[in-house]
Amino acid sequence: MVPGPVSNDRLGASNGRSSPKPRILVPEKVSPDGLALLASDFDVDSRPGGLSPQELIDLIPSYHGLIVRSETKVTAAVLAAGTSLRVVARAGVGVDNIDVEAATAQGIIVVNSPAGNIVAAAEHTVALLLATARNIGRADRTFKDGKWERGKLVGVEVGRKTLGIIGLGKVGMKVARMAVGLGMKVLAVDPYASADVARQASVELVPGLADLLPVVDFLTIHTPLLASTLDLLGEAEFQRMKKTARVLNVARGGVYNEAALLKALDEGWIAGAGLDVFTKEPPEEGSVAAQLARHEKVVSTPHLGASTVEAQENVSLDVCSQVLLILRGGLPTAAVNAPLILPEEYRKLQPFVKLIEKMGGLYTQHYVGARGGMVGGRKFELVYQGELAGINNTRPLFAALVKGLVSSISDSGGRDVNIVNAALIAREKGIVINEVHTRENSGSTYASLVTLRSYDTDPAAAGKEERGAEQIIEGYVSGKTVYISKLDRFTASFTPEGTLLILHNYDEPGKIGGVGMVLGRRGVNIEWMQVASLEKGDQGDKGLELSKVDSAVAGMEAHGSNTKGRGNEALMILGVGGVVGKEVLQDLTGEEGILDVSLIRL
């Protein structure tokens, strides 16, 4: 992502008002520790009482930086008026109150502080864990009402109990270490986590929810709220758990299906919950969220996960340090929209940055999300062949791969990855990337070819780089369009854009029609399709390009009539429109001869 043209005003003019120093507006209360970093170099205008939308628009033209928390709405109108603005900083994690797209179009960098509240969120999780175990909330309420109900408030110890963690990121890992300190056994589900890092923290990674839910005494979720994690736990999942289990949420409202959680508590499927976040905050009167917040088996808090003095100081120091760096001409470490490419490299590298980012996203969603594989702990090779191999500065390409690999598993969609922090993010995720330059293009007809290889290192190889379970994606650029030319063992030529369904199937008559009927019943429109064959197979056509295939399913059956029957394999790659939910994937997986199905959003 590259910000748009930067005006002369953004390079330092103050739009008609002369000032010896660049000016920074702070319309909310921000910890003075961070603001002190800026005082010597900049004119800091702190207005903790807040500004109305019109006041902000009227004032912003003469400022170069804007630092906000959650109350100030940084709209497209504000950004358009801020003709001198170079940076908008959010003293916190979320940037929902900032129009990031408008900022990018204006060439304004948006930064936040994704790490400032890690300790606070982890400690609040443990606080809720202990509070639910010992009925602290109910005990406090009833005691203040003049009741002495010791017999009704018998709790459980957490030592020697099992804590399950879904999402072993920074907060999840911090919670894990605290839980180990309490004497708990910790299990975790996270296909993107490094197995080595988990072992060092005394955490056992398990394959999936089916292995985790039946055995845990406490369950906490630390994942971003994405399409793949919305309603991650519903009625079926709660019924798999112990009746004595308790669940915690200091991450995002909506990861637990709130109606299902309410039913689980009412029906006695689980014993209790500790909740700090809800789908709508504050919960509307009479809503399911409000019923949960008031439930006698729930310890509820009003989104206090980051509300500590230290966390507020940390985020202030973090974002103010980044503002200082940006206004001095540097690149930030936690930008939501910082460029992967510097302006002078844009024309040459932009198509390949796009290609490699798409390859990374395809890898994570196809090999990890659909097949239960891993990103963390695997080794990757990014091979540049042909003319591309002659480019010396490949930092933007490296960053593009990291961005693609993490985009489907992060709140920001990978927008916070830039050429400054990509290597750090890769290390944190346990991702090892080697770049290989080769002038030879292996007989390719393309001027430049990019190959992404991922493989396991054999733990029995005693340090040798012996490979196993190799996974491959190849791609090329034609004009301004990017294409995937190989996926695993299959040759193809498709553009990785939009919503894709990739079906691995036996290449035999009836497959295309069966898939078309399933999608038609579910209201999913097939916009284009391609059949990709095994690289060295002899199965007729290499690919089949169709537009609006669902309107001509009968005609497509002719392609299957020339196949050799079961034993031959193919990939059916579909570009689709409409809602593709779990039911659609289940229906497709149940079709005869379909080996597996991936849903890809790029």
**pLDDT given at position 406:** 86
406/226 Cα distance (integer angstroms): 12
Residue 287 burial (CB < 10 Å; 0-12/13-18/19+)?
middle
55 catalytic residue (yes or no): no
**pLDDT given at position 469:** 67
Which residues on adjacent β-strands are paired with residue 165? 188, 220
560/495 Cα distance (integer angstroms): 23
Structure tokens at 560: 């299957």
424/17 Cα distance (integer angstroms): 40
**pLDDT given at position 194:** 81
403/425 Cα distance (integer angstroms): 9
With pLDDT > 90 as the criterion, what percentage of the chain qualifies?
Answer: 53
Structure tokens at 325: 């760096």
Side chain identity at 152, as an amino acid letter? K
Residue 172 confidence (pLDDT) above 70: yes
Chain centroid to CA 455: 22
Strands 467-478 and 490-494, sheet pairing: unpaired
The answer to whether the CB of 54 falls within 8 A of the CB of 48 is no
**Of 208, 217, 157, 213, which Cα lies nearest the Cα of 185?**
217
The answer to whether the CB of 311 falls within 8 A of the CB of 119 is yes
Residue 550 confidence (pLDDT) above 50: no
Work out the pLDDT band at 357, boundaries 50, 70, 90.
very high
The answer to whether the CB of 360 falls within 8 A of the CB of 402 is yes
The answer to whether the CB of 222 falls within 8 A of the CB of 171 is yes
pLDDT in tens, 568-601: 888 999 999 988 888 898 899 888 889 889 999 9
With pLDDT > 70 as the criterion, what percentage of the chain qualifies?
Answer: 84
Give the three-state DSSP class for 599: strand
Catalytic residue (one of 55, 71, 149, 281): 281
pLDDT in tens, 128-166: 999 999 999 999 999 999 999 999 999 999 999 999 999
- The number of C-alpha atoms within 13 Å of 244 and in the hemisphere containing its C-beta is 13
Domains of the chain: 9-115+310-327 (3.40.50.720), 118-300 (3.40.50.720), 343-487 (3.30.1330.90), 499-601 (3.30.70.260)
The answer to whether the CB of 88 falls within 8 A of the CB of 69 is no
433/576 Cα distance (integer angstroms): 32
163/220 Cα distance (integer angstroms): 8
Sequence-distant (≥ 6) Cβ neighbours of residue 579 within 8 angstroms? 523, 524
489 catalytic residue (yes or no): no
Side chain identity at 521, as an amino acid letter? R
Sequence-distant (≥ 6) Cβ neighbours of residue 9 within 8 angstroms? 15, 83, 84
- The number of C-alpha atoms within 13 Å of 516 and in the hemisphere containing its C-beta is 19
How large is the average pLDDT for residues 53-71? 95
522/45 Cα distance (integer angstroms): 56
The answer to whether the CB of 26 falls within 8 A of the CB of 59 is no
pLDDT in tens, 475-534: 999 988 999 999 988 999 999 999 999 999 888 888 888 899 999 988 999 999 998 888
Catalytic residue (one of 252, 378, 395, 504): 252
506/595 Cα distance (integer angstroms): 8
Strands of the sheet with 43-46, listed across from one edge: 43-46, 23-26, 65-68, 87-90, 109-111
310 catalytic residue (yes or no): no
Which residues on adjacent β-strands are paired with residue 272? 246
The string of DSSP codes covering 543-596 is ---EESGGGGHHHHHHHHTTS--BTBEEEEEEEEES---HHHHHHHHTSTTEEE
**Of 242, 251, 126, which Cα lies nearest the Cα of 179?**
126
pLDDT in tens, 202-218: 999 999 999 999 999 99
Catalytic residue (one of 47, 240, 303, 489): 303
Tell me the H-state helices in 22-113.
Answer: 32-38, 53-59, 76-81, 100-105
Structure tokens at 205: 């990674």
Phi, psi of 424 (to 5 degrees): -65, -45
Residue 348 confidence (pLDDT) above 80: no
pLDDT in tens, 395-452: 889 989 998 998 877 766 677 687 777 888 888 788 889 999 987 655 566 778 999 9
271/113 Cα distance (integer angstroms): 35
How large is the average pLDDT for residues 321-330? 88
Residue 118 confidence (pLDDT) above 70: yes
pLDDT in tens, 269-302: 999 999 999 998 899 999 999 999 999 999 999 9
pLDDT in tens, 233-257: 999 999 999 999 999 999 989 999 9
